[in-house]
């Protein structure tokens, strides 16, 4: 729980949340921060909330008290986005400050009613609307729909050039040493980058087209600092804007010069070939992520697949179809639009194949557009010749990935 004065009259209130599943199912091994902001002009506004994950707003009220602000004196509550990680405290807040005006988009207004039955004291804002808090703090609103929900808005404090973006430009990971990205050590920065791609792939990937539009809109504003609802503050806005554009481009592939190997095995026969492939890939000059399903969570596999141009799938046939945990993960990758990858599949079968048929069906139905090189299947344990064939195909894939990325 932390309060930081980030600009003239602007304070960040932030808490770290751990040991939860984000949105109820995304594993976040390094936690996530929830950031709220207070702007003190002649009038005081609070932007978004930082409720505890159980919806209890004590944490937020504790942070406000540190600023010597009585919650009941806050005139405006700006709701950038109604997902309950930001809005879950509103009902409790309205109980102690019923006169506070809620500033939000038209779509958020509807959600205020359906979530909390709040229908009054709402100011609906849209593109280019303004709110004057006094002392120079004039807020200029922009609509950034679907980053993350259709209701999402952002606002620029024209006095300080601070852009409050809620989910946009956010990241997973706890805030530890500093609230500013530019203050991190090289090691912390590398972890932060990883957590940003995990966040992007898990939360925003599906909306990559809208992300690009939102970034273009933000690029046109005189932004000096980006203050998101999750993660670190950027005093070099170009850095995170460029990064987000890159992440959005990964949707259609090619992405980075990386390969994600996703594998599953029932009795170790496919695994024997996987071990051979891992050793082979270690000799190649390429970054490789290895994930076993169903042991690894969807979110972890997705984060790697999002940045990888190449995907290797290794799984046996199961009851004339694909090994079920692999099918589940592929469905999720398809729904998040991990498209246009270079790919290779191998695996064992007992009395009959069938994995390929299901793989083709998933690829077609979800319009994933992966380009597969010829698969390798073997009965039971892979023999020396099978391993040799698998190895040749892996080599081919590595070349294809390099060619795709380097152009
Ligand atoms: Fe951080 Fe879409 O809520």
CA geometry: angle 243, 195, 394, nearest 5 deg: 80
Q: For the whole model, what pTM was predicted?
A: 0.95
Query: Could you tell me if the CB of 81 is within 6 A of ligand 1?
Result: yes
Write out the E strands in 238-391. 256-263, 287-292, 308-314, 317-318, 321-322, 342-349, 371-372, 376-379
Query: Could you tell me if the CB of 85 is within 6 A of ligand 1?
Result: yes
Q: Whose C-alpha lies nearest to ligand 1, atom 3?
A: 83
Which pLDDT tens digits describe the chain residue by residue (407 residues)? 789 999 999 999 999 998 888 988 899 999 999 999 999 999 999 999 877 666 556 777 888 888 889 888 999 999 999 999 999 889 888 888 999 999 999 999 999 999 999 999 999 999 999 999 999 999 999 999 999 999 999 999 999 999 999 999 999 999 998 999 999 999 999 999 999 999 999 999 999 999 999 999 999 999 999 999 999 999 999 999 999 999 999 999 999 999 999 999 999 999 999 999 999 999 999 999 999 999 999 999 999 999 999 999 999 999 999 999 999 999 999 999 999 999 999 999 988 888 999 999 999 999 999 999 999 999 999 999 999 999 999 999 999 999 999 98
Distance CA 257, CA 280 (A): 17
2-249 fold:
Metallo-beta-lactamase; Chain A (3.60.15)
Query: Could you tell me if the CB of 389 is within 6 A of ligand 1?
Result: no
Query: Could you tell me if the CB of 48 is within 6 A of ligand 1?
Result: no
For residue 88 the two structure tokens come to: 């879950």
Question: Ligand 1: distance of its center to the CA of 149 in Å?
Answer: 8
List the chain domain ranges: 2-249, 256-399
Q: Whose C-alpha lies nearest to ligand 1, atom 1?
A: 167
Query: Could you tell me if the CB of 148 is within 6 A of ligand 1?
Result: yes
* Range 256-399 has CATH code 3.40.50.360: yes
| CB neighbourhood size of 24 (10 A) | 6
Question: Ligand 1: distance of its center to the CA of 170 in Å?
Answer: 9
Query: Could you tell me if the CB of 192 is within 6 A of ligand 1?
Result: no
| CB neighbourhood size of 311 (10 A) | 27
């Amino acid at each position: 729980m932390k309060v930081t004065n980030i600009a003239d009259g602007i304070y960040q209130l932030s808490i770290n949340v751990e040991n939860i599943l984000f949105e109820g199912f995304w594993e976040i091994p390094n936690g996530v921060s929830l950031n709220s902001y207070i702007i003190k002009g002649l009038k005081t506004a609070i932007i978004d909330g930082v409720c505890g994950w159980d919806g209890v707003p004590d944490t937020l009220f504790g942070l406000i008290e540190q600023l010597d602000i009585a919650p009941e004196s806050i005139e405006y509550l700006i709701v950038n986005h109604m997902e309950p990680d930001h809005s879950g405290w509103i009902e409790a807040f309205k109980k102690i400050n019923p006169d506070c005006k809620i500033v939000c988009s038209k779509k958020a207004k509807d959600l205020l009613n359906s979530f909390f039955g709040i229908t009054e004291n709402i100011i609906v804002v849209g593109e280019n609307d303004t709110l004057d808090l006094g002392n120079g703090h004039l807020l200029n609103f922009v609509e950034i729909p679907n980053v993350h929900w259709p209701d999402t808005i952002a606002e620029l404090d024209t006095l300080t050039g601070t852009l409050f973006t809620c989910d946009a430009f956010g990241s997973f990971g706890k805030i530890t040493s500093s609230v500013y990205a530019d203050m991190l050590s090289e090691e912390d920065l590398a972890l932060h980058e990883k957590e940003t791609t995990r966040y992007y792939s898990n939360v925003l990937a599906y909306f990559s087209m809208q992300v690009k539009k939102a970034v273009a809109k933000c690029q046109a504003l005189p932004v000096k600092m980006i203050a998101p609802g999750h993660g670190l503050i950027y005093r070099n806005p170009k850095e995170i804007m460029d990064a987000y554009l890159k992440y959005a481009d990964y949707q259609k592939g090619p992405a980075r010069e990386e390969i994600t190997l996703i594998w599953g095995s029932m009795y170790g026969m496919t695994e024997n070939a996987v071990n051979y492939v891992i050793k082979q890939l270690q000799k190649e000059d390429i970054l490789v992520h290895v994930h076993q399903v169903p042991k690894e969570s969807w979110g972890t596999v997705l984060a790697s697949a999002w940045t990888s141009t190449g995907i290797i799938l290794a799984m046996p046939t199961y009851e004339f179809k694909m090994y079920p945990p692999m099918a589940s993960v592929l469905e999720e990758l398809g729904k998040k639009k991990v498209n246009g990858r270079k790919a290779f599949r191998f695996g064992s079968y007992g009395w009959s194949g069938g994995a390929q048929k299901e793989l083709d069906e998933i690829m077609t139905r979800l319009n994933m557009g992966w380009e597969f090189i010829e698969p390798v299947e073997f009965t039971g344990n892979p023999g020396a010749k099978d391993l040799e064939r698998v190895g040749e195909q892996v080599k081919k894939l590595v070349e294809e990935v390099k060619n795709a990325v380097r152009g």
